[in-house]
Amino acid sequence: MTIEEIEALRPRKAVLYLRVSSKKQTETAIDIDKDGNSIATQRDICKQKAEAVNADIIEEFVEPGVSAQTIEKRPVFQALLTFLQDNRDVDYVIVYARSRAFRNFTDAAITRRHLDKLGVRLLSAREDFGEGTYAEAMEAVTDIMNQVQNQLSGEDIRIKMRNKAVNGGTVGKARLGYLNIRKDIDGRMINSVGLDEVRAPLVLKAFELYATGLYSIEQLEATMADLGLTSRRTARFPEGPVSASKLHHMLKDPYYVGYVIYKGDAYPGRHEPIIGQDLFDQVQEVMSSRSGAGTRDRIHNHFLKGMLYCGKCFKLGRESRVVYMQAKGRGGTIHEYFFCRARQEGQCDLPYLPAYLVEDSVAESYGRLVLDKDFERDVRTRLEEALLGEQQDLKAMYAKYTNQLNEVEAKEGRLVDMAADGILPPSKIREKMHELRVQRSRIEDSLANIGEEIAVGGQLLTKAIDQIADPKAYYEKATDKVRRLLNESFFHRFFVYQDGAVGADLNQPFDDIFAAQAAYRSTKSSRAVLVPGSAQSPEIGAVLGVSGVLTGQFLDTKNGADFSTPSLLFKLKSIYSNHGSNKATLVGLTGFEPATP
């Protein structure tokens, strides 16, 4: 016998790579094989292939339930490559089909180069292309088609999932408080979602308790564990108390109100809601007050959390929050404090301030939100006059827009005639018609919205002035929840200083109202109008109550500019600074027409 014939009779060595893409496939017919029927079938077919090439199987790699599209995300496949690196006498890697090993052409090409360096050949038990150049080409074509099929399957699944969500179906496993069930619909058993009679009432209780505002997430976790709310048992985890993170996620989920969320869109669900919309909204308000604006939902809660910043740090050009804390004294007494977060890092020496000092200073800020009676009367009179005066201008604008609309209609008629006579090519006609349709749409929108922006601006300022009647008295009598809402309405944030004094920047339109009052006072006393935000403006400094630190600074720190920046249709401060007609300042700065100077 020749050397080639002897070599051909030498037993080869092979390893098997067996894989399914979902865990469910490994649970089929486990009484026949512990790895499931699919893995068992692959093993039998691969053994037959090994016998056909005279190879002994020395190792088997099973990767169940890993739906990864790239080989880097498959730990068992990576272990296979390591094994081949350590055992250089392996001749073959046998797979059931190339699609079991590769989902894209790139992975197949990289693996082939790696195996070629090790002298190992990949064999498919289901696809025998032989050897040579044409065989390699067929393998490459197969890998490309597997990639295409994988992408098409993914798109098909996404389309079906969206369609299911649009029609109110639950995507994924049932939420806590629900169960995946089988339901008889017209004689057919279909998968559906039903209420968990044990857990659903407890889920409702969790929402009700949290809506009171008396429970933090940690407290709610302990309380619900005592009441018996548990997670469902899974193959990986036993039944147990619901964690704080899962409760937090549950409390934000609109699914419990009856909606299905898919890719950021909400659709009415077919499942039965556990809670009502009003209760869900109350829970979101509590979460917003604790988790919004940088706060954390912890046991220690305070209505000022998230709105306090260190004034000393702000003056130095950095932003640092003032944090709320509770400390227990020797006699068991609870003491409440605020301190600068930068203090923990040694960057600030603002002392620990008793909470009552800061609370009193915030209340005093409302005492400075007072309008002069003569200024208030003057503002209301000017608003009424301005709105009446706008009616004539609106009539002129309406006539102008109507004439423009008639011109567009005439141009459209001429284009139709040109198209009928063949004067212009169809492509040019379509282009011109598109331009006219856009122009018509803009004019019609302008006609529909004439006067609306100005009316809304006037109503906004009127309501804001009404709210400043006596805000301090209302604030002092309000509950902590209402106080927080008032703070968020009037103020953007507060700045805390050395002795517990508080400065603030106002939200719109209140910032503009008090800037206008300062200009009004200056006008009455025949003094020059001072620049808003300057240290020379005592009226604005009085609004802040900064107690000498950053006196008069009243910056809109949200936008990095002072409050004279145009942002509302009505700018009262401009009216009182111009000393002239107020009509120009009341015209909207945006719209179909160019901005009015």
Of 119-123, 496-500, 526-530, give the lowest mean pLDDT range.
526-530
Q: Report the b/e string of 155-167 with b at 16+ CB within 10 A.
A: eeeeeeeeeebee
Domain shared by 214 and 150, yes or no:
no
CATH number at residue 239: 3.90.1750.20
Q: Give the number of residues written for the chain.
A: 597
pLDDT (average), residues 298-312? 79
In a domain, 256, yes or no: yes
Domain shared by 150 and 26, yes or no:
yes
pLDDT (average), residues 490-515? 86
Structure tokens at 137: 């080409």
Q: What angle do CA 558, 473, 289 make, to 5 degrees?
A: 45
Domain boundary residue, one of 451, 483, 503: 451
Say if CB 75 and CB 104 are below 8 A apart: no
pLDDT bin (cut points 50, 70, 90) of residue 456 is low
pLDDT (average), residues 583-594? 39
Cα 118 to Cα 11, 74, 140, 307, 522: the distances in Å are 18, 20, 20, 64, 89
Return the pLDDT at 251.
Answer: 93
Return the pLDDT at 1.
Answer: 57
Return the pLDDT at 561.
Answer: 30
Domain shared by 34 and 65, yes or no:
yes
pTM of the model: 0.41
Domain shared by 66 and 136, yes or no:
yes
Residue bearing the bigger pLDDT, 38 or 58: 58
Domain shared by 26 and 122, yes or no:
yes
Mutual angle of helices 373-421 and 452-467, in 10-degree steps: 160
In a domain, 244, yes or no: yes
In a domain, 498, yes or no: no
Residue bearing the bigger pLDDT, 45 or 183: 45
Say if CB 306 and CB 296 are below 8 A apart: no
What's phi and psi for 15, nearest 5 deg?
A: -125, 150
Domain shared by 71 and 98, yes or no:
yes
Q: 89: closest CA among 113, 56, 67, 42? A: 56
- Cβ contacts of 86 within 8 Å, gap of 6 or more: none
Residue 140 in this model has a pLDDT that exceeds 70: yes
Return the pLDDT at 409.
Answer: 81
Residue bearing the bigger pLDDT, 57 or 403: 57
Domain shared by 7 and 146, yes or no:
yes
Q: Report the b/e string of 228-238 with b at 16+ CB within 10 A.
A: ebbebeeeeee
Say if CB 568 and CB 509 are below 8 A apart: yes
In a domain, 477, yes or no: no
- Cβ contacts of 389 within 8 Å, gap of 6 or more: 583
Q: Which domain holds residue 413?
A: 373-451
In a domain, 387, yes or no: yes
- Measured in Å, how far apart are the chain's first and last C-alpha atoms? 104
In a domain, 548, yes or no: no
| Separation between Cα atoms, residue 224 and residue 40, nearest integer Å | 45
Beta bridge partners of 56: 13
Domain shared by 99 and 233, yes or no:
no
Domain shared by 140 and 205, yes or no:
no
Structural domain count, the chain: 3
Q: Judge if the upstream peptide bond of residue 532 is cis by omega within 30 degrees of 0.
A: no
Beta bridge partners of 61: 17
Domain shared by 184 and 111, yes or no:
no
Q: 224: closest CA among 236, 249, 207? A: 207
| Separation between Cα atoms, residue 471 and residue 467, nearest integer Å | 7
- What is the bridge-based pairing of β-strands 121-124 and 308-310? unpaired
Residue 541 in this model has a pLDDT that exceeds 80: no
Mean pLDDT, the chain, integer: 76
Residue bearing the bigger pLDDT, 373 or 9: 373
Domain shared by 154 and 70, yes or no:
yes
CATH number at residue 11: 3.40.50.1390
In a domain, 63, yes or no: yes
Return the pLDDT at 310.
Answer: 93
Domain shared by 85 and 145, yes or no:
yes
| Separation between Cα atoms, residue 535 and residue 553, nearest integer Å | 6
Helices (H) and strands (E) in the chain, counts: 20, 16
In a domain, 366, yes or no: no
Task: Order the strands of the 55-63 sheet from edge to edge.
Answer: 55-63, 12-19, 92-95, 121-124
Domain boundary residue, one of 434, 451, 468: 451
Cα 30 to Cα 18, 45, 58, 295: the distances in Å are 16, 18, 24, 51
Q: 324: closest CA among 309, 339, 310? A: 339
Return the pLDDT at 596.
Answer: 37
